Amino acid sequence: MTDKNNIRNFAIIAHIDHGKSTLADRFLEITSTVSKDKIKEQFLDQNPISRERGITIKLAPVRMKYSLNGRDYELNLIDTPGHIDFSYEVSRTLAACDGAILLIDATQGIQAQTVAHLKAAQKQNLFIIPAINKIDLDTAKTEDVIRDLDEMFGFKREEIYLVSAKTGKNVEELLKGVIEKVPSPKGDLEKPLRALVFDAQFDEHRGVIIFVRIFDGKLRKNEKIEFFQSNVKVDASDVGYFSPFLIPKEDLSCGEIGYIVTGIKNIRETRIGDTITQEGFKETTTPLAGYQMPKPMVFFGVYPKSSDEYVHLREALNKLSLNDASLSVSSEYSAFLGSGFRVGFLGLLHAEIVKERLKQEEGIDPLLTMPRVLYKEENEQMFEPYMDLTIYTPSEYVGGVMNVAQNRKGNLKNLSYHKDSAILEYEMPYSMFIRGLSSEIKTVSSGFASLDYELIGYKAANLVKMDILVNGNPIDVLSELVYSDELNYVAREKTEKLKELLDRQQFRQIIQAAVDSHILARTEIPPYRKDVLAKMSGGDRTRKDKLLEAQKKGKSKMINIAKIDISQKALLSMLEGK
């Protein structure tokens, strides 16, 4: 059993691409957790899409051992994501830790997620160790970043570690700083078990494996445990720790981070943020302060590109949802696309990653409809989710950023300057994210601005449902909720775009945008014109007029009976906004 005074539980928090995973790699090397000849970049990112994109999308715990001044220490590190879609992963990590390394890129300086993650860590009362990474690069602005850390957060020069995760410079000194500065875990070994569930994964042979931090007591292999929220009782058939793979041991005790094999077949019975204890102690034990699993806020219709792929897609989505409890899946039907699913995601990157996993792991490439946020309707009034948006940008781009935010219905709450940079805080509809807010901010700031947000609730919105019709037939997957003051513009844009994309037919195609029965915009695609008079070498005018009138009636009949056929390519272009 490890003395909890020799345990350090810590995380690395940072803005995306500031070097978290590379720093974790160096720690693994220094502690000989993984030999240098076996380690590869982003070792903790076992997910192939994480490795391909160079970003962490899933928290990853690992136990390391290190000796300092004659004492053996157990270091539990949890590598965390930096992208705003996965901020909830960071909050779960921090709840299981006692300290955190705040890592800042010397070439980019403080960014939006730097500020957001620091605030989250401070809320958990974690000890913060500031470190500046990439000091070896020619473009490093190390002195400027040191000054900003002092001005914005009060970190003094002597507190800040200057490292290069890539070359390993000063990384071992940073690791020693974790041992010396991060407090050992609190808790009482003699009390009944209290463990926080901070993550879970599904194994088809062993059932749900929960990731836990033990706050009080001790758990032995094969003891029966009970979940506070779900009331589920199971045997802990196996327990152990991460190195970073699962290493079994006989018990987990106060202060440790590890895993428990439950045998549960439904991952939703093991709620993230729940507390577990031994069976029989639930009534006399106080649960730990957990956290709510985030609700999916962006929804797509997900459809197979051919009907014979439907069962395969259903099974693939169910499989993915076993290891991603934040994914919600329900059935839906489209008159144009047939049977499919309504899938909820945490954000656009989350949706993109799931689609990529379906393609790489399951060999299926589904069609995704237009994204929609989670609206509410009460007494015929629409309500939409709002966010507190933080934009961090170099000062020279403030004007352009403010113009974009204002055009996106943003309400400026605060603007503060820090030498060469500025932080803008807005209240804004969350739907702006799925309408390209991030890319537009990046464009006006030459790629230097960064964003972070926090959902704050719902506000009334003046939204109406706009339908797109072809020859009077509504195209269900192209209908959307539109702000009243943007209706005419959006209607013209959608109808003209569909006109460009649809194939010409033997009959006229009338494209309309409408709200209820009111037509907002109209355009049409003329039919291929057959020359019915081509074989007439003569004849009077009456005969020609009869032929032309017959052709006109025939085309009118075709409009009424023709099946509206929109190609997959045209539909995909409309849905993806290309």
Residues 490 and 425 in one domain: no
Residues 100 and 89 in one domain: yes
CA distances from 226 to 195, 236, 298 (A): 11, 10, 33
CATH at residue 447 = 3.30.70.240
Residues 235 and 270 in one domain: yes
Q: Which residue is it, tokens 């047939």?
A: 338
Instruction: Calculate what percentage of the chain has a pLDDT beyond 70.
Output: 85
- What's the pLDDT band for 77 if we cut at 50, 70, 90? very high
Residues 123 and 112 in one domain: yes
Examine the fold and report which residue of 373, 404, 422 is the final residue of a domain before the chain moves on.
Answer: 373
Residue 187 lies in a domain: no
Examine the fold and report which residue of 322, 356, 373 is the final residue of a domain before the chain moves on.
Answer: 373
Residue 560 has pLDDT above 70, yes or no: no
Residue 186 lies in a domain: no
Identity of the amino acid at 33 = T
Q: Is 100 helix (H, G, I), strand (E, B) or coil?
A: strand
Residue 289 lies in a domain: no
Domain total of the chain: 5
Residue 292 lies in a domain: no
Residues 200 and 60 in one domain: no
Residues 252 and 319 in one domain: no
535 vs 342, which has greater pLDDT? 342
pLDDT in tens, 225-278: 999 888 899 999 999 999 878 899 999 999 999 999 999 988 778 877 889 999
Residue 554 lies in a domain: yes
Distance of CA 110 to the CA centre of its chain: 21
Give CA–CA dist 527/469, Å, rounded: 17
117 vs 264, which has greater pLDDT? 264
Residues 47 and 67 in one domain: yes
Residues 211 and 256 in one domain: yes
Residue 189 lies in a domain: no
Residues 266 and 307 in one domain: no
Give CA–CA dist 305/257, Å, rounded: 44
Residues 17 and 157 in one domain: yes
Examine the fold and report which residue of 158, 181, 204 is the final residue of a domain before the chain moves on.
Answer: 181
The range of the structural domain enclosing residue 245 comes to 194-284
| pLDDT score, position 577 | 54
Q: Where is average pLDDT lowest: 111-115, 256-260, 331-335?
A: 111-115
Bridge partner list, 226? 233, 277
Residues 272 and 324 in one domain: no
CATH at residue 267 = 2.40.30.10
Residue 361 lies in a domain: yes
Identity of the amino acid at 240 = G
Which tokens go with 469? 């019709």
Fill in the DSSP letter of residue 246.
E
| pLDDT score, position 50 | 39
Q: Counting beta carbons within 10 angstroms of the beta carbon of residue 263, is it exposed (0 to 12), middle (13 to 18) or buried (19 or more)?
A: middle
CATH at residue 354 = 3.30.70.870
Distance of CA 492 to the CA centre of its chain: 32
pLDDT in tens, 178-210: 999 999 999 999 999 999 988 888 888 899 999
CATH at residue 170 = 3.40.50.300
DSSP codes, 271-284: -TT-EEEETT-GGG
Residue 38 lies in a domain: yes
Residues 24 and 167 in one domain: yes
Bridge partner list, 470? 473, 511
Contact indicator for 106, 135 with CB cutoff of 8 Å? yes
Q: Are strands 238-242 and 480-483 parallel, antiparallel or unpaired?
A: unpaired
